[in-house]
């Protein structure tokens, strides 16, 4: 079995995990950069993530257009992925989702969404908020072309996550496991922060030192990291697709 087969399986697993963990619903998507061609990426055709199988994965270029003769309908917002892969050569996987718990932090500017729980540390110390209206005025809020995607990628900068005002978030990771984990814990971190705000008093965010310490202990294929991936995949009913890479 070729490496590409296991990449396809991993992408199916990622889709199913994000659906089961309610990061995505009918909408939202996850992609991975093509392992053999950094100017291409792999993503499902326009389909709810919970329904994605290996046959639904398409190959797109960094302009968001299909490679080869692809006739199936594609995600309208595939340009989120294309522009982030274009801007960030070190990024190998991207998630875009509309998870409800993060939305208030893109709407109200009184409280910044930053890590407050240990598992939220991988979000990073800065989570910029992108407002499509700043440069594009009144739109349907969706990222439907490269110009909008590049504007979002510019706002994301070197960060791991950007919120999209009134819409959702975009997350960029060095591996599929990393970006899925980030996307699962981002809404949990947001919920904890929102509840802490309700209790009142000073909000204690994770310090930069704590975030750095968490990052130092992270390895994409460590036993601890794999444990979460394996758990989520089985919970999502796709444990049979798991293939653990060499550490």
Q: Which residues are catalytic?
A: 77
Stated as kind and residue range, the H or E segment containing 82 is helix 78-87
Closest CA to 180 of 4, 43, 10, 46: 10
Is the Cβ of residue 170 or residue 233 nearer to Zn ion in the bound state?
Answer: 170
In the complex, the residues that contact Zn ion under the rule CB under 5 A are 77, 168
Which residue lies nearer to Zn ion by CB, 4 or 76?
76
C-beta of 53 vs 144, nearer to Zn ion = 144
Query: Smallest distance from the beta carbon of 167 to Zn ion, in angstroms?
Result: 6
Cα-based distances in Å from 6 to 11, 12, 158, 234, 243 = 9, 10, 28, 17, 7
* Shortest distance, position 80 Cβ to Zn ion, whole Å: 7
**Residue 129, phi then psi, degrees to nearest 5:** -110, 120
Q: In which residue are the tokens 């087969």 written?
A: 5
166: left (phi over 0), alpha (psi -120 to 50) or beta: left
CB 21 within 8 A of CB 184: yes
Looking at the Cβ atoms of 11 and 132, the one nearer to Zn ion is: 132
Degrees, nearest 5: CA angle 182-184-190: 90
Residue 21 vs 77, nearer CB to Zn ion? 77
Smallest separation (angstroms) from Zn ion to the CB of 25: 11
Give the nearest distance from C-beta 195 to Zn ion in angstroms.
26
Q: Are 161 and 127 in contact (CB under 8 A)?
A: yes
Q: Please, what is the minimum distance in Å from the beta carbon of residue 205 to Zn ion?
A: 27
**Distance, CA of 164 to CA of 130 (rounded, Å):** 5
Contact status, residue 32 vs residue 11, Cβ threshold 8 Å: yes
């Amino acid at each position: 079995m070729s490496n590409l087969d296991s990449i396809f399986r991993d992408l199916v697993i990622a889709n199913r995990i994000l659906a089961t963990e309610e990061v995505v619903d009918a909408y939202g998507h996850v992609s991975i950069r093509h392992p053999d061609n950094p100017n291409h990426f792999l993503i499902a055709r326009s389909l709810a993530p919970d329904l994605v199988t290996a046959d639904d994965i398409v190959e797109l270029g960094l302009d968001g257009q299909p490679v080869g003769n692809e006739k199936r309908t594609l995600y309208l917002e595939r340009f989120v992925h294309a522009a982030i892969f274009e801007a960030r050569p070190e990024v190998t996987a991207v998630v875009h989702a509309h998870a409800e718990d993060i939305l208030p932090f893109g709407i109200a500017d009184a409280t910044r969404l930053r890590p407050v729980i240990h598992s939220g540390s991988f979000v990073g110390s800065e989570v910029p908020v992108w407002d499509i209206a700043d440069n594009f005025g009144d739109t349907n809020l969706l990222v439907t072309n490269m110009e909008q995607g590049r504007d979002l990628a510019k706002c994301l900068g070197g960060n791991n996550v950007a919120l999209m005002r009134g819409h959702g978030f975009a997350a960029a990771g060095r591996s599929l496991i990393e970006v899925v984990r980030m996307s699962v814990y981002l809404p949990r971190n947001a919920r904890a922060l929102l509840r802490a705000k309700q209790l009142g008093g000073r909000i204690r965010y994770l310090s930069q030192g704590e975030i750095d310490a968490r990052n130092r202990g992270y390895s994409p294929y460590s036993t601890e990291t794999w444990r979460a991936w394996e758990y989520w995949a089985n919970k999502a009913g796709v444990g049979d697709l798991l293939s653990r890479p060499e550490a």
